[in-house]
Amino acid sequence: MVATTPSRIARDTLLHLIPEARQRTFDLVADLTDEQLMGPRLPIVNPLRWEIAHVAWFQEQWVLRRGLGEPPIRADGDALYDSSAVPHDTRWDLPLPSREGSLAYMREVRDRVLDRLQRDDPDPQLRYLALYTVFHEDMHDEAFTYTRQTLCYAAPPGPVDRTGAEAGPLPGDASVPGGSFLLGAGADEPFVFDNEKWAHPVEVGPFRIARSAVTQAEFAAFVDGGGYAHRELWSEAGWAWRVAAGADGPLHWRRGGDGWERRDFDRWVALEPHRPVIHVNAHEADAYCRWAGRRLPTEAEWEAAASLEPNTGGTGFTGRKRRFPWGDDPPTPGRANTDGRALSCVDVGALPAGDSAFGCRQMIGNVWEWTSSDFLPYPGFTPDMYSDYSQPWFRTHRVLRGGCWVTRGRLLRNTWRNFYMPDRRDVWAGFRTCAP
C-alpha cells in the first residue's frame, strides 16, 4: 500500500509535530466568529467549520482506524468529512457539529493518536501514516490563509517578522547549461508524495531563467500597457477565461488615488513594487510572458535551476542534486520566507543566503511559481495509500513549484510538486520567467 516509509522519523518527532500542527489549525481560526467559520457558499473555498474537522477526520481515518484498527469516534464521521465522497457544494448543508463540538472532536483525535504513539513504539508503516496526516494538515492550514484572503477576513493573528523584507529588486537572468539529470525524488528521501516518484532521466537544453519572480511593478506595467485587452497575448483558453471572468487586472487589485493598491486580507495597501506579484493564474502568467517576450519555465527547467550544480570544468551539471537550492540543510528564516513568519511576501531581492548554485533567489518560499508543465504522472507512477492525492488531477492541472510565504518549510524540497487548475488565482501564486 505504501511505497516509501519514513523509518528515520523518530517517534519523539511525531509526538512534537502532531500537537504543533493541530495548534496551528486552532490558531488560524480562533479569532473568527461562528458566522465567519461557515462563510458564503463559493466554489473555491470550504466552510471552515467543515474543513478544520476534516483534517482531524483524515488523521483518525489513517492513523487510528486504518493504521491501528480502532472503531470510528463518530458514527457520522465518514458522511460528514470524507472529501472524496461528500460533494463540495453540499458541505454548507451538512448537520455539522457546533464550533465547540468540532473543536472537541479535533482534540479527541489528537489525544488518542498521541496516546497510542506514546504507549506503543510505532512501526515504520504507522509512522508514515502519522506523518502523512501532519503534512495533510499543513496543506489545509495554508488553504485557511487564502480562504481568509478570499473572504476579506483579517490577517491571522500572531507575531510578524519582516526582517530584511525591504530588499529591493533582483533583475537579470541566471544561465543554466543543458544536459541530462534525474527529475524527481530519489529513494533516499525519508518521505515523498507519490507524484514525486521516482527520479528519472530527462534532458534539458541550455536556458536562461530569471533570478527572481516577476514583481508587482513589472506586472503593473503589463496591466497599464493594456495587457488584458490585447487578444494576441492570450492563449485560446486564457482569453476565454479572461472574458468569462471579466478580468482586467490581478485579483485583489484596484486603482487608488496614488496608483495601484492591493487588498491584503481586510485592508487596502499601496502596491509594494519589489514584492512578487501574487493571485495571478497560469493564463495571466502566460499572457505576461508573451507581452514581455519571455516564457514560463518547464518544471524540469525549474528543478534544474533550483537543485543542480554547474560543472566547473566544462559544460553540463556535476550530477549532484541539492535537496534545497542552497544545499541539503532545511529552510531557515535567513534562507527562505516560509511558515507564515512574515505574514506576506518579501521583496524579491531578500534572502540571498537561499540562492541556488546558479544564482536564482527564493526558489523555496515567498510565492508559488507557475510552470508551463501540465501535471502528469512520472514514469511508473503508482498511487500511495491516499489514492486521491494526485491521481484524479493528472492532465487537468498545471504544476507549480517552490512553496510560498505560508507553506510549512518541513513540506518543501526541490522536488515537491504543487498543482492547481490553470484558472485558479485565489492561491498564493506568482511566477518567474525564462528567456525565449
Q: What is the pLDDT of residue 315?
A: 73
Task: Provide the grid cell at 153.
Answer: 477576513
Give, for 268, the enclosing helix (H) or strand (E). Answer: strand 267-270
With 0-12 / 13-18 / 19 or more C-beta atoms within 10 angstroms meaning exposed / middle / buried, residue 170 is buried
Q: What are the contacts of 237-246 at 24+ separation with CB within 8 A?
A: 237/283, 237/422, 238/282, 238/283, 238/284, 238/286, 238/287, 241/281, 241/283, 241/423, 242/283, 245/423
CA pair distance 64, 71, nearest whole angstrom: 8
CA pair distance 153, 223, nearest whole angstrom: 27
Is 330 within 8 Å of 409 (Cβ atoms)? yes
**Residue from 212, 247, 230 nearest 367 by CA:** 212
Q: What is the pLDDT of residue 7?
A: 55
Cα dist. 432→62, 123, 147, 293, 399 in Å?
37, 42, 24, 13, 13
Strand partners, 49: none
CA pair distance 215, 102, nearest whole angstrom: 41
CA 177 to chain centre: 28
Let me know if the fold of 11-150 is the same as that of 159-436. Answer: no
Q: What is the pLDDT of residue 314?
A: 64
Give, for 174, the enclosing helix (H) or strand (E). Answer: strand 173-176
CA pair distance 210, 216, nearest whole angstrom: 15
Residues of the chain with pLDDT under 50: 1-3
Residue with cell 518560499: 365
Q: What is the pLDDT of residue 121?
A: 86
Q: What is the pLDDT of residue 30?
A: 97
Homologous superfamily (CATH) for 159-436: paralog of FGE (formylglycine-generating enzyme) (3.90.1580.10)
CA pair distance 311, 308, nearest whole angstrom: 9
DSSP secondary structure of 64-125 = IIIIT-PPPSSTTHHHHH-TTTS-GGGTTTS-PPPHHHHHHHHHHHHHHHHHHHHHS---HH
Residue extents of the structural domains in the chain: 11-150, 159-436
Report DSSP state, residue 385. S
Task: Give the type of residue at 108.
Answer: E
Q: What is the CATH T-level fold of the domain 11-150, as seen in this structure? A: Four Helix Bundle (Hemerythrin (Met), subunit A) (1.20.120)
